[in-house]
Amino acid sequence: MNFVFQNFVIPSGSMEKTLLIGDHVLVDRITFAPPIGWAPFVHYREPQRGDVIVFYKPNPETPDLILVKRLIGVPGDRIHLIHGVVYLNGVAQNESYAAMPKFSADPDDEYSPARDDFPTRGTPPGSFEVWSQALPSHVQGGDLVVPPGNFFAMGDNREHSADGRFWGFVPRGNILGRPLFNYWSFEATAAQMDAQGASLGARASSFFTTALHILNKTRWSRTGHLIR
């Protein structure tokens, strides 16, 4: 199964509303894999702008951490943000799925120049130091230029997403696949998802909680929901 399809659970709200915390998705591991000569009938292609991708986080401190984000830029693309709006090769993008800065009681939803006017103000607070040092070498005329063999990805919930603005580019070799659809969705919080991995006892408690509430907390309308 790991070579063709893989299940993946969404642990955070960085991709809302496309993907919700507690969504269980089936990931296609074939489409972005290197072509195999003995299987010419299998469709292969390179990742494209707009794809939702699953990948290993490009951070040596957490080499096995798997993330899901939306692919914004491919090699050679020039990207910058103004007040949260993505400009791709000089053209403002109409991203209906993306959350923009807004007036809110949550300070993370408010406009943040370092995060929402990227990269002209450098990296946002909380960025990895290695990326903060490398960023200037990838900026030309106020644009972030995606280097060969790399991609730039961001979460749809832009104000609550630690994404490429914070840790840089996604190497091609880090990309595992793309989520196809939800096979099950269960209401949960990010704290509850984090607790599942804390200990054996926490996992057992989570299992019994899920079993107890499987009927009333399952998001039935999201079953079979295609991910775009």
* Ordered DSSP codes for 12-61: SSTTTTTS-TTEEEEEE-STTSPP-TT-TTS------TT-EEEEE-S-TT
Catalytic-residue membership of 57: no
Catalytic-residue membership of 69: yes
Per the CB < 8 A criterion, the answer to whether 207 and 186 are in contact is: no
- Residues 176, 188: Cα–Cα separation, whole Å: 25
Comparing C-alpha atoms, which of 98, 100, 135 is closest to residue 118?
135
Query: Which member of 12, 14, 161, 185 is catalytic?
Result: 14
Query: Which member of 69, 127, 161, 185 is catalytic?
Result: 69
Cis peptide before 113 (omega within 30 of 0): no
DSSP state of 104: -
Active site residues: 14, 69
